[in-house]
Amino acid sequence: MRRARLFGIGVVATLCGAGCAIDALENRHDPFPPGPIVDLEYPQDAVAGPGVPISDHAEADLVEPLLEHRTMYARYLKVLSQYYYDRGFLNKHRWAETELKDLHAVPAYSYGADVGQLKLRDIAVAGRQEVDIVEELVTHRKMYNRLLDILVRRYAEKEDYEKLACAERERLEASYIKPYQYLMDAMIPIEALRPQESIAEADMLFDEGLKLMKKGGYKWRPGMYNRRTMKRALNRFHTLITEYPTSDKIAEAAFYAGFIHKEYFYDPAARVDDNEIAVQYFERAFTWKPNITLQARFEAATVYDYRLHDRERALRLYQDVIDTENFVESNVRFAHARIRQLTRQEDESMLPAERNDALQAPPRALASPAAEPAPDVEPAPARPMAP
C-alpha cells in the first residue's frame, strides 16, 4: 500500500513538472447541508427548499440584507465582466469571470427568508466610470462576508444547528472566492498606509494565512499546490490589509498576497495572469516597510522583467536589490548579472548616433562584481522565510 501511494505521488509530480494545481486530487468535500437554496443572481427562483422559515425580526434583519448583498455582488461581477470585455480589457474581464465563477460555487441558502421582499435593483452602466462600478462591487462583497460572519454567530448563540450548518458551510465555501483588486490604487492606496501597531486580530489573520499557504503546498511540496487553499490564504491577507490598515503586519501580508498571485495564479495556457496585481502588492510591501526582510523588490523585478517586459522598471528594482535588499546573496548575484545583460541588449539595439551619445554620457553608477553568465530565463521561485 505504501509503495503504491509513493508511486502515485511520483506520477503526479512527474506530470506536474515545474508546477501545477492538484485541487481535483484533494478537494473531496462533503455534500452541502440540506437547506433552502435559491438562484444566486435571481433569488426569487428557488432551487431547493423551502426549509425553516425566519423566526423573528432580528433574524430577518440579518438574512435579508445578506441575500441582497450576495445577489448584488454577483450582478456587479457580471456587469463588470461585460464592461471590461466591451472596452477590450480582457485580462480584467477574465478576473471578473473567475471571481463570479468562484461565487457561483458557494451554496446560495435563503435561510427561510421571504425572497419576494428583497430590495434588488438593475445596474445602469451608461455614463459610469470604472471606479464607480468597482467601488459598489467591493461594498457588496465586503458586506456579504461581514453579514455572513454575524449570521454564523447568531445561529450558534441561538443553538439553531440546522441553519448554523448551512451558514458555516456557506462561509467556508465563500472563503475560496478569490477577491480581485480591479483598481488597486483606489482600493488600497500605496502611500496612505504605514505599519503602526500590533493588533491581535490582524496577527491572527496573518498566522492563519501562513498556515493555509503551507497547507496548500507552499515550501514543503514543490511543484504541486492546491489553488483553492491558496485562495483562502489570499483572503486572510487581503482582509488583514483592508480591515486593519494600521497593523504592523500589512507589509508582510502584502508580500505574501503578491507571492500567491505570482506563483499560483499564473498559467498562460489557461489564460490566468495575475502579474499586474502581484507587482502592485510587492511594491506596497517595500513602500509600507522599506526595511522589510522579505525579497519584495526582487520578486517585483523578475515579474517586470520576464513577464511584463518592462525593462526600465526591472532595471531600477534590480539596482534596489543590490543597494537595499542585499540580505539574499543569490538574489544580488542574479541582479548584477541581469543588469549587465539588459544594458548590453540596450546598447546592441541602439542606432549608431544613439550609441555615440551614450558613450559621451556620464557612466551609470551600477555596482558590478566579477562576471558570471547572464540569466536568460526567469529564476526559480524563491521560498522566503516567514518572519
pLDDT at 286: 96
pLDDT at 193: 85
Cα-based distances in Å from 332 to 43, 215, 380: 56, 30, 15
pLDDT at 51: 64
CATH number of 33-187, picked from 1.10.10, 1.10.150, 1.20.1260, 1.20.1250 = 1.20.1260
Contacts of 25 (CB under 8 A, 6+ apart): 12
pLDDT at 15: 37
pLDDT at 47: 64
| Cβ neighbours of 331 (radius 10 Å) | 22
Which residue in 211, 171, 219, 228 sits closest to 26, CA to CA?
A: 228
Report the alpha-carbon distance of residue 368 to residue 335 in Å, rounded: 10
pLDDT at 344: 87
Q: In sequence order, what E strands does the chain have?
A: 20-21, 37-38, 46-48, 224-225, 266-267, 272-273
The domain limits of the chain are 33-187, 192-288, 293-387
Report the alpha-carbon distance of residue 78 to residue 253 in Å, rounded: 29
Encode the chain (387 residues) as per-residue pLDDT tens digits.
Answer: 444 444 344 433 433 444 566 554 455 567 899 888 999 999 886 665 556 777 788 899 999 999 999 999 999 999 999 999 999 999 899 999 999 999 999 999 999 888 888 888 889 888 889 999 999 999 999 999 999 999 999 999 999 999 999 999 999 999 999 989 899 887 777 878 889 999 999 999 999 999 999 999 887 655 678 889 999 999 999 999 989 999 999 999 999 999 999 999 887 776 778 899 999 999 999 999 999 999 999 999 999 999 999 999 999 999 999 999 999 999 999 999 999 999 987 666 554 554 454 334 333 333 333 334 446 666 766 555 444
